Structure 1
């Protein structure tokens, strides 16, 4: 077994969550195809270069897109992350450079591409809500120059009641503090120097926020995720969720 492929333990958890009612001609083995999908994102190679041992060349890509449309990758992450019942969650973001293939766009295209030119060039920003161990609960994408606070408010829609939220100064807004409080939680964020009103902040607790940095480091070990080559943002997000599912299983 190659190092990027699913182990027996991983497959035992993922297999029951996959569609199990194929119609017509029997499809290529699911585990074999998912290993092909993982190979592509682990190496950052184009879909046409996926080795034949994972089935016909087009099968991994077609299966990936079809299951993305059906919400399979979303359900995988939701299923494995639903087991978390801890008190601490964290939000943050990280930029991924956009490859020239991912930036290609037709003149009349109307699809939201979730990338833009920022200080680092063409980038996509990955926003994450993770638990106390750095395991992802929810992921979202925006253009690279987008602010963190607006996306942070969207991530809070997945915040369970009574949680302690850790975030850096980029999320230091009254709206995020108020929304966290409405959910019975506490936002532990370092105050900005321009803030006139004193807010509660625990530096010892804030030190645990390095777990979300570790999450981004683990995700970006996959070359196809460290650099975005997919033009469609939903394809890139689906790949992130597949990688995030493995992080949960192996935690």
Structure 2
């Protein structure tokens, strides 16, 4: 439980079709960057890594470049030395949001009825398998 009640963040890596390749749960107060590197290491190295401003860190960019992946992450407003990124490639990020919307099409995921994180994770894995099968 966090201060606001039961909440969790779903961290996931979808492919170009919106199917989830890898996912994990954290507490709702957890930041995105520390979880991203172990999650990225579980998948094959893609050509591009699309993410939002929450994933803007020099360490993550360095790890992605080491794997041969081009980071397409916009800069936070307070970054001293901004990195360049392809705005054209960033327009593809709606596919990531669509993958999360497909998860939340299932009421059990959207409302988070489960008390235990392991039960909620099991529901997400089941829904991800169904979505993989449909697409």
Assess same fold via TM > 0.5.
yes
Instruction: Give the match's secondary structure for 1:218.
Output: helix
Q: Which sections of structure 2, spanning at least 5 residues, go unmatched?
A: none
CA distance in 2, matches of 1:171, 1:205: 16
Q: Look up the match of 1:217.
A: 101
With structure 2 as the length reference, what TM-score do the two structures score? 0.90
Listed one character per residue, the Cα deviations across residues 61-108 of structure 1 (whole Å, up to 9, x for unaligned) are xxxxxxxxxxxxxxxxxxxxxxxxxxxxxxxxxxxxxxxxxxxxxxxx
Listed one character per residue, the Cα deviations across residues 19-69 of structure 1 (whole Å, up to 9, x for unaligned) are xxxxxxxxxxxxxxxxxxxxxxxxxxxxxxxxxxxxxxxxxxxxxxxxxxx
CA distance in 2, matches of 1:148, 1:162: 19
The answer to whether residue 33 in structure 2 is matched with residue 149 in structure 1 is yes
Q: Look up the match of 2:113.
A: 229
Q: 1:207 aligns with which of 88, 91, 103?
A: 91
C-alpha deviation, 1:162, in angstroms: 4.7
Q: Look up the match of 2:11.
A: 127
With structure 1 as the length reference, what TM-score do the two structures score? 0.51
CA distance in 1, matches of 2:104, 2:82: 37
Question: Any residues of structure 2 matched to 1:1-251 within 5 Å, and which?
Answer: 115-118=1-4, 121-251=5-135
Contact kept in structure 2, 1:139 and 1:237, CA below 8 Å: no
Displaced runs of 4+ in structure 1, greater than 3 A? Answer: none
Corresponding residue pairs, total: 135
Q: Which sections of structure 1, spanning at least 5 residues, go unmatched?
A: 1-114
Contact kept in structure 2, 1:166 and 1:206, CA below 8 Å: yes
Q: CA RMSD in A?
A: 1.6
